[in-house]
Amino acid sequence: MTTVSILGAGAWGIGLALTSERAQNDTTLWSYFEPEIQEIKSNGENSAVLPGIKIPKSIHLTSDLKKAAKSNILLFVTPAQAFRKVLRALKPHLNPESYLIICSKGIELETNRLLSEVMEEEAPDFSACVLAGPNFAREVALNLPAAATLASDYRDQSLWLCNSLSHDRFHLNPSTDVKGVELASAVKNVLAIASGLVTGAGLGENARAAVVTYGLNELTQLSLQKGGHINTVLGFSGIGDILLTCMSATSRNMKLGLDLGSGKAIEQLKKEGSPLTEGAMTVKALIQMAQPLGQRMPVCQAVYRVLYEGSTIEKELRNLFSHPLEVSI
């Protein structure tokens, strides 16, 4: 029996633990926070993040990283900014044959590095795998059907992992484009802000679809420049996740865009206690990443100027419309 550890007991960690269990794996859920483990042990759920979702007793619970380290497959669902720290703590206890799969989304802000690049630095003996797709955690936890991409540098590894973690309501699609999957996940948070900005400003659904299309094009260009593959853009972790995140009602990034687009100032939002979202932070990293490659990032730059330089989405949209799509003719 394959053993699987999920590192992080937030909403997505719980969703992944439940789906791993359904795929007949011996599953362990780890949290850094012992009280979180205690709550799940006593109430059978993590009511702060997924109220009403019961976690069966067959899933092992622990806050001991050494125990979690022993599994065949480890899924990292910690916050992106905690990834390096957890990996360092874990490393001495790892089995060299284990597979490490990054399910966290985002860029390490201090270094502008993708999490697979952080893993290359911290654990160069392991080859980073990545899992991403259009997956609201609650729906996966409820066993509603969902699909995602699982990428590894090695085709056979990817196929074996897909096979181990899939079941009839959770389809994993194999890929060998680790960086492409990670980039798409980072960019889509920025596009969700852009989508919210357009909607918040009352510019309509045509304009929103147009802006997301511009954004998809710059993601494609950046991804190709970084060695990614067009199929990733067309897959679950590319357009699939963008469909979900940019067109559905309520991601935190979308909400930030909606608030700013409808005229609230960012200072006001901070006063009201809304923290800056992942997308608001990664937008800088993406622009910096694209610069040495000579890659224009017009939607990222538009979002950046609205967030940090007092521009408006109306003005930025006129600017976008003055250029054709990068891939146009």
Give the residue numbers marked as catalytic: 188
Rounded CA gap, 87 and 58, in Å?
A: 26
Place of tokens 């989304």: 105
Rounded CA gap, 22 and 234, in Å?
A: 28
Considering only 65, 147, 266, 269, the residue that binds a copy of itself (CB under 8 A) is: 147
User: Contact 137/11 with Cβ under 8 angstroms?
Assistant: yes
Contact call for residue 317 and a copy of itself (CB under 8 A):
yes
Rounded CA gap, 8 and 11, in Å?
A: 9
Rounded CA gap, 252 and 258, in Å?
A: 10
Q: Please, what is the minimum distance in Å from the beta carbon of residue 84 to a copy of itself?
A: 29
Rounded CA gap, 151 and 167, in Å?
A: 17
Residue whose C-alpha is closest to residue 13's, from 96, 101, 78:
78
CA angle, residues 48, 165, 134, in degrees to nearest 5: 60
Q: Please, what is the minimum distance in Å from the beta carbon of residue 162 to a copy of itself?
A: 8
Task: Kindly state the helix (H) or strand (E) to which residue 108 belongs, with its residue range.
Answer: strand 107-108
User: Contact 5/73 with Cβ under 8 angstroms?
Assistant: yes
DSSP character at residue 167: B
Considering only 244, 254, 281, 283, the residue that binds a copy of itself (CB under 8 A) is: 244
Contact call for residue 240 and a copy of itself (CB under 8 A):
yes
Contact call for residue 145 and a copy of itself (CB under 8 A):
yes
Stretch that binds a copy of itself, among 36-44, 57-65, 235-243, 290-298 (CB under 8 A): 235-243
Q: If 0-12 CB within 10 Å is exposed, 13-18 middle and 19+ buried, where does residue 24 land? A: exposed
Considering only 25, 104, 173, 295, the residue that binds a copy of itself (CB under 8 A) is: 173
The residue (of 83 and 136) whose beta carbon lies closer to a copy of itself is 136
Considering only 135, 199, 282, 295, the residue that binds a copy of itself (CB under 8 A) is: 135
Q: What are phi and psi of 164, to 5 degrees?
A: -70, -30
Contact call for residue 327 and a copy of itself (CB under 8 A):
yes
Tell me the CB-side half-sphere exposure of residue 229, using CA atoms within 13 A. 10
Considering only 55, 186, 207, 260, the residue that binds a copy of itself (CB under 8 A) is: 207
Contact call for residue 79 and a copy of itself (CB under 8 A):
no
Residues 104-133 that bind a copy of itself (CB under 8 A): 133
Stretch that binds a copy of itself, among 25-33, 51-59, 179-187, 212-220 (CB under 8 A): 212-220
The residue (of 31 and 166) whose beta carbon lies closer to a copy of itself is 166
Considering only 89, 144, 265, 293, the residue that binds a copy of itself (CB under 8 A) is: 144
Residue 227 is encoded by which pair of tokens?
């060695």
Rounded CA gap, 167 and 24, in Å?
A: 9
The residue (of 69 and 137) whose beta carbon lies closer to a copy of itself is 137
Rounded CA gap, 189 and 19, in Å?
A: 24
Q: Please, what is the minimum distance in Å from the beta carbon of residue 270 to a copy of itself?
A: 29
Contact call for residue 99 and a copy of itself (CB under 8 A):
no
Contact call for residue 11 and a copy of itself (CB under 8 A):
no
Return the amino acid letter for 184.
A
Contact call for residue 241 and a copy of itself (CB under 8 A):
yes
The residue (of 58 and 328) whose beta carbon lies closer to a copy of itself is 328
Residues near a copy of itself (CB under 8 A) = 133-136, 139-140, 142, 144-147, 155, 158, 168-169, 171, 173-176, 203-210, 212-213, 216-217, 220, 230-231, 233-236, 239-241, 243-244, 246-248, 317-318, 320-321, 324-325, 327-329
